[in-house]
């Protein structure tokens, strides 16, 4: 049984996906929403996973990492926010580098430094690879260098859930890190870089890709600076949608997914929904404007005139395709909100909270402990459970190979020790 720590758990998407596959046990999970009296996501998590492991509802910065020593936690998972990961010298100088306060990635590294799990599986928005705009790739480089310094190697992939059979066109970057002491690292990372990405690595067996890469984005190789402060202050690189980092050496490609049949938005719609979800004439006209093309003259704070332009969006949403990326503003009068033609009444309406749960692969009414607005908000923040289920299968395969290798080494030691 692989013991797991879940960080920034939300309503439990990581855990739900992992527990679809036998052999995983989440022993400790943390969810804390700062500056909020109501802890809706945590309450949902605690309700759905009642009496299964420890549920922590405190600021992760206040969690004492030493409590996890010798707890055999071998997998840490979490979806953390995209923030400014820059570092600086500590005030006293002799303590080395310090990340900016409140940046949650540094809490991950603090816990990992103490626990030293075999594996990490992290999720973030895909713009992480390009941020910040003034020093492209710096934030991801800081992350990779930090994991390198903790003795981990990394494989990442940007995955669009709809490319692999899901009902939502949701793009996220997934980051799999493996400790360099593992048999997986010692075996796999002796192979060629393109073989790891296309065939033998973490993602390719469960998220297949084409043999070729995108011609206009040829593969790139580079070395991360040894000094983390140099990475933060000076380093900039272009990261493509897949890649690996081992011992600071980075190889990255723009890979092409072998797409599977998707789940359509129409197939997850409910029938006989409440009248409150339907749009009146005024709301319909509002959405026609919000989703239509625009070219608007504006004046900046300095008095400079410019034109704001945006293209049109399908209105209503095409139910024959997967849903668009769901945001936390879903269900409001917002350009990004889905508007569908009801399959029974043929009238225009919002998605229901249950339909939003289905877009992310959660069971119906998973979030029914909270207000409707918070249900939309939580699903806008959630990940697609079906993707995690596939990754769980892959981790289980890797762990089984790890166990078998340890048995072989133990037998060899008995014979020749």
**Where do the DSSP E strands lie in 224-350?**
242-246, 249-253, 255-257, 294-299, 305-310, 339-341, 348-350
- DSSP-derived secondary structure for 34-100: TT-S--HHHHHHHHHTTTSSEEE-S-GGG--GGGGTTS-EEEEEEE-------EEE-TTSTT-EEEP
Q: What's the CA gap between 368 and 363, in Å, rounded?
A: 11
State yes or no: is 356 an active-site residue. Answer: no
**Distance (Å) of CA 16 to CA 127, 164, 302:** 25, 18, 50
Cα distance between the two ends of the chain = 29
Q: What letters, b where the CB count within 10 A reaches 16 and e where it falls short, cover 134-152?
A: ebbbbbbbbbbbbbbebeb
Q: What's the CA gap between 154 and 131, in Å, rounded?
A: 19
| Number of helices followed by number of strands (H, E) in the chain | 11, 18
Crossing angle of the two packed helices 372-381 and 40-48, in degrees rounded to 10: 80
CB of 138 closer than 8 Å to CB of 232 = yes
H/E segment holding residue 386: helix 385-416
CB of 188 closer than 8 Å to CB of 169 = no
Residue tagged active-site, from 44, 82, 356, 378: 82
**Distance (Å) of CA 382 to CA 124, 159, 172:** 11, 15, 11
CB of 11 closer than 8 Å to CB of 55 = no
**Distance (Å) of CA 80 to CA 122, 293, 319:** 7, 33, 31
Please give the positions annotated as active site: 82
């Amino acid at each position: 049984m692989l013991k797991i720590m879940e960080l920034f758990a939300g309503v439990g998407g990581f855990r739900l996906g992992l527990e679809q596959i036998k052999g995983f046990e989440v022993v400790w999970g943390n969810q804390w929403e700062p500056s909020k009296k109501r802890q809706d996501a945590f309450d949902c998590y605690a309700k759905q996973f009642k009496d299964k492991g420890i549920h922590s509802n405190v600021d992760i910065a206040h969690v004492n990492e030493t409590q996890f020593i010798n707890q055999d936690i071998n997998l840490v998972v979490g979806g953390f926010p995209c923030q400014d990961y820059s570092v600086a010298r500590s005030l006293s100088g002799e303590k080395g580098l310090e990340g900016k306060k409140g940046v949650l990635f540094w809490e991950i590294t603090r816990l990992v430094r103490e626990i030293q799990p075999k594996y990490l599986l992290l999720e973030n928005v895909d713009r992480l690879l390009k941020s910040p705009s003034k020093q492209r790739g710096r934030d991801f480089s800081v992350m990779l260098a930090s994991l390198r310094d903790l003795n981990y190697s990394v494989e990442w992939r940007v995955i669009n859930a709809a490319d692999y059979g899901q009902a939502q066109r949701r793009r996220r970057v997934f980051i799999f890190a493996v400790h360099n002491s593992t048999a997986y690292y010692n075996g796999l990372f002796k192979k060629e870089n393109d073989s790891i990405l296309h065939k033998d690595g973490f993602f390719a067996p469960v998220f297949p890709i084409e043999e070729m890469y995108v011609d206009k984005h040829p593969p790139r190789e580079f070395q991360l600076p040894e000094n983390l402060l140099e990475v933060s202050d000076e380093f900039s690189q272009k990261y493509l949608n897949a890649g690996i980092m081992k011992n600071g050496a980075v190889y990255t490609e723009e890979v092409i997914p072998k797409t599977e049949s998707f789940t359509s938005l129409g197939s997850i719609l409910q029938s006989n929904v409440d009248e409150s979800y339907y749009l009146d004439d005024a709301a319909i006209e509002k959405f026609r404007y919000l989703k239509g093309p625009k070219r608007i003259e504006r004046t900046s704070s300095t008095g400079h005139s410019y034109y704001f332009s945006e293209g049109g969006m399908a209105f209503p949403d095409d139910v024959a395709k997967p849903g668009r990326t769901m945001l936390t503003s879903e269900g409001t009068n917002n350009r990004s909100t889905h508007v569908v033609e009801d399959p029974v009444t043929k009238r225009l309406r919002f998605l229901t909270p249950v339909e939003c749960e289905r877009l992310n692969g959660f069971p119906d009414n998973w979030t029914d402990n909270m207000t409707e607005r918070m249900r939309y908000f939580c699903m806008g923040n959630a990940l697609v459970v079906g993707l995690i289920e596939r990754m769980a299968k892959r981790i289980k395969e890797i762990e089984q190979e790890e166990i078998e290798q340890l048995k072989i080494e133990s037998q060899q030691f008995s014979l020749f020790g």
